[in-house]
Amino acid sequence: MVTLSAMQRPISAAASARSLCGALVAAACCALCQPHVASAEPASHFGLGALPAGATVTDDHLLRVDLAAAKALARRRSPILRGARAGIDGVKARLSEARSAWFPTIEASGFATVIPARIASTDGSSYLEDYDWTDLRPLATGQISLVQTLFTFGKLDALAAMARQGIQVAEATSRVVEAELDFQIERAYFGLVMASGVDELARKGREQLTKERSRLEALRDDGDETFDAAELIKLRVVEVEFEEKLRAALRARDLAQDALRVALDLDLPWRIAAADEELPEPAFAPLPVAAYETLAVANQPRELARRRGLLVRMEQVRLERNRLLPDLVLTARFAYTYAPGTAQADDSLADNPNNPTQSGAGLALRWRIDLFRQLERIEQTEYDMRREQAEIQVEQQKMRADVRNAVREMLDLGELSALHDAAQRAVRAQMTSAIDLADKGLGTRAAATTAFESYLRRRLAHAENLYRYQVAVGALSRAIGVDVRTMPAPIKAEAAPDVVARPERP
């Protein structure tokens, strides 16, 4: 029985990016966003081999990739995926082993010793008196036997079928690893994209906060009556919060870097940069939830592996039942005895079946009967098969629930993206107006600082929401076994009803 091995723990590429601190991953990526001069050396000089389209490498060990190139490199270099593919080769070897049972089995044996010569005119009945122990002669025997299986009543066929289904299980397991690897790469990649997208915002934020603090400190030092200590205290709190988020962003960016290095089998001093500069907005129309569930049942690698595993168990039941029956084999033997001190007879097997110097061939039944043990094995295997059938039904229900939850999350984040964008535009207009009024002396600097802080938060929240949306899309793709970004738009006439439809929002 081929079983699914436990999946390795997923790489936590951007675990902290689900929070606002993770969204600030961008604030620490200035170095990644600087231009680099491509190396004139071939990529093989760096041990990467031929690079796929969308990937470039520089002399200072910077690898710049887009999402497709990162996935292509991971499929070629990831040790986790290589291990999963090795499992396929192992099951194929077991299939070859099952088929090899149809080839003949050859067994050779030999024996050599010395025996005394028999004294003439004696009948050899007396072992001591009828033999001359001073005249020792050689004795050698040899035998080669061949057993060719002719018919096994389905036993070898069941073994071969188990191995073929086992290959399907191993291939589905490899796809599980590949889907998980793709998801981890997407999560880390979009973390780097988010970092590069808000880097300029972080720089401007520092400049504005530093400028405002210097202005307030100058008013304080000059003893100006317009100085408000509460404004300086509030500004320092904002600076501390901003730096905390920035440090968290540095850690999140480093986690994304480490995740990509592990996936691509790279080590320091390699650095990885995302080719995209901005997180993409939601750009495809989702299918009905029922359609995603149907796709998951048909394509999800774990589901395919479970179903193939059940077929393996069914073949095992057939094998255990067929073991109650004998095997029909063709046997052949060639034997020869060399004994100069003993007279040799040339009798045929018909005249003397025990003559060791003769050879022959014939049909035979090979039957091992262990009835009670075999019946118990059949019963145990049937129990296991029924248990796996029930587990498949349970896991399928869980899978459907996971798909529904993934669709809900993707839809929510997609809808929130438009709201975040509208809020960001409104706050940006408010910030521009507040700063302009403060510069003209018609408004307070505190109001301008507050508006700028609000804009920073809205901008970061929008970037985080886009990041979470892309991660949710990747999670849904992993859940159904198909990349939802490349699927065609839904056809309403053929679409199944949305089983998790939510009430209309105001």
Structure tokens at 256: 């994304």
The listed range with the strongest mean pLDDT (15-24, 167-176, 242-251, 364-373) is 167-176
273's enclosing H/E stretch is strand 271-274
Sign of CA dihedral 386, 392, 393, 398: positive
**End-to-end Cα separation, the chain, in angstroms:** 55
- Report pLDDT for 245: 74
Structure tokens at 296: 């998951």
CA triple 171-177-181, angle to 5 deg: 140
- Report pLDDT for 472: 92
- Mean pLDDT for the stretch of residues 399-412: 90
Is pLDDT of 382 > 80?
yes
Mean pLDDT of the chain: 76
Is pLDDT of 41 > 50?
no
Contact 118, 142 (CB under 8 A): no
Q: Quick count: other Cβ atoms within 10 Å of Cβ 466?
A: 26
Q: For 49, left (φ over 0), alpha (ψ -120 to 50), or beta?
A: left
Residue 506 half-sphere exposure toward CB, CA atoms < 13 A: 0
pLDDT band (50, 70, 90) for residue 434: confident
- Mean pLDDT for the stretch of residues 221-227: 80
Q: Where are the domains of the chain?
A: 15-486
Is pLDDT of 469 > 70?
yes
Q: What is the DSSP string of 173-214?
A: HHHHHHHHHHHHHHHHHHHHHHHHHSHHHHHHHHHHHHHHHH
Name 105's bridge partners. 147
CA distance 80 to 178: 9
Name 110's bridge partners. 142
CA proximity to 406, closest of 414, 417, 394, 416: 414
CA distance 229 to 413: 41
396's enclosing H/E stretch is helix 371-439
- Report pLDDT for 496: 36
Is pLDDT of 35 > 60?
no
For residue 324, which amino acid is it? L
Which SS3 state, helix, strand or coil, does residue 107 take? strand
Q: What is the tens place of the pLDDT at every residue in 489-503? A: 543 333 333 333 343
Structure tokens at 494: 């053929």
Q: DSSP state, 267?
A: -
Q: How far is CA 96 from CA 90, 103, 156, 161, in A?
A: 10, 11, 12, 11
Homologous superfamily assigned to 15-486: Outer membrane efflux proteins (OEP) (1.20.1600.10)
Largest CA distance in the chain: 145
Structure tokens at 315: 């073949």
Q: What residues have CB less than 8 Å from 459, skipping those under 6 apart?
A: 198, 201, 424, 428
